[in-house]
């Protein structure tokens, strides 16, 4: 039963991506991959500092950064959240807060009850704070990504901007007089 839950957390999110628009998938994949790197680092910290320990995993080698969460539900979940909320910051944050609260106070407790995880000295509010901070960083990254890789304006557009600037400067000088 536990293996079925873990495999579901890994496979169902990936299968759901077949329903996502290909343009959205390409647009938000970089931020989802950054989220995966950040989650991997957090899971390494969790392993080192005893925040939580996984007793049940999909593979013998995924005791530190679990495949079913970091490379399954979290990666695909990031894509879906950005697909539906990017460009509306407060909605993005509210959705993330809801998801983070569900994870911190719901799934972590459920996994302990099912015997998937054991121990751990990170309280749910600590997990919530880490995830919410990461959500903010991811949004900032996506904003940068969209500006950094935006198509450069054509020379005609640039020339038009200069011309408008020159006209508006001339109008100001005429209105206020040359100094």
64: helix, strand or coil = coil
Looking at residue 156, what is its pLDDT? 64
pLDDT digits (tens, 9 = 90+) for 125-171: 999 999 999 999 999 999 999 988 777 776 666 665 555 555 555 55
The pLDDT tens digits of the residues spanning 108-117 come to 888 888 888 8
Alpha-carbon distance of 89 to 139, in angstroms, equals 8
Kindly tell me if the per-residue pLDDT of 25 is higher than 90.
yes
CA dihedral 159, 162, 168, 174 (to 10 degrees): -100
User: Measured between alpha carbons, how far is 7 from 10 in angstroms, rounded to an integer?
Assistant: 5
The kind and range of the H/E element at 53 are: strand 53-54
| pTM (whole model) above 0.85 | no
Please give the pLDDT value at position 86. 97
Of 34-43, 85-94, 145-154, the poorest mean pLDDT is in: 145-154
The helix/strand/coil state of 100 is helix
Which helix (H) or strand (E) segment holds residue 174: the answer is helix 155-176
* Sign for the pseudo-dihedral over CA of 165, 166, 170, 173: positive
Mean pLDDT, rounded, for 51-79: 91
């Amino acid at each position: 039963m536990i293996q079925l839950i873990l495999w579901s957390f890994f496979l169902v999110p990936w299968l759901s991506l077949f329903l996502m628009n290909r343009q959205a998938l390409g647009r938000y994949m970089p931020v989802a991959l950054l989220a995966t790197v950040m989650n991997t680092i957090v899971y390494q910290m969790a392993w080192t500092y005893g925040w939580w320990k996984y007793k049940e995993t999909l593979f013998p080698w995924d005791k530190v950064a679990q495949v079913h969460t970091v490379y399954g539900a979290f990666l695909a979940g990031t894509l879906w959240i950005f697909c539906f909320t990017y460009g509306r910051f407060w909605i993005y944050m509210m959705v993330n807060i809801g998801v983070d609260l569900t994870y911190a106070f719901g799934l972590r407790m459920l996994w302990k009850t099912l015997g998937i995880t054991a121990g751990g000295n990170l309280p749910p509010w600590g997990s919530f704070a880490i995830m919410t901070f990461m959500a903010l960083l991811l949004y900032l990254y996506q904003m940068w990504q969209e500006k950094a890789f935006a198509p450069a304006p054509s020379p005609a557009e640039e020339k038009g901007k200069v011309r408008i600037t020159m006209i508006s400067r001339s109008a100001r000088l005429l209105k206020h007089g040359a100094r």
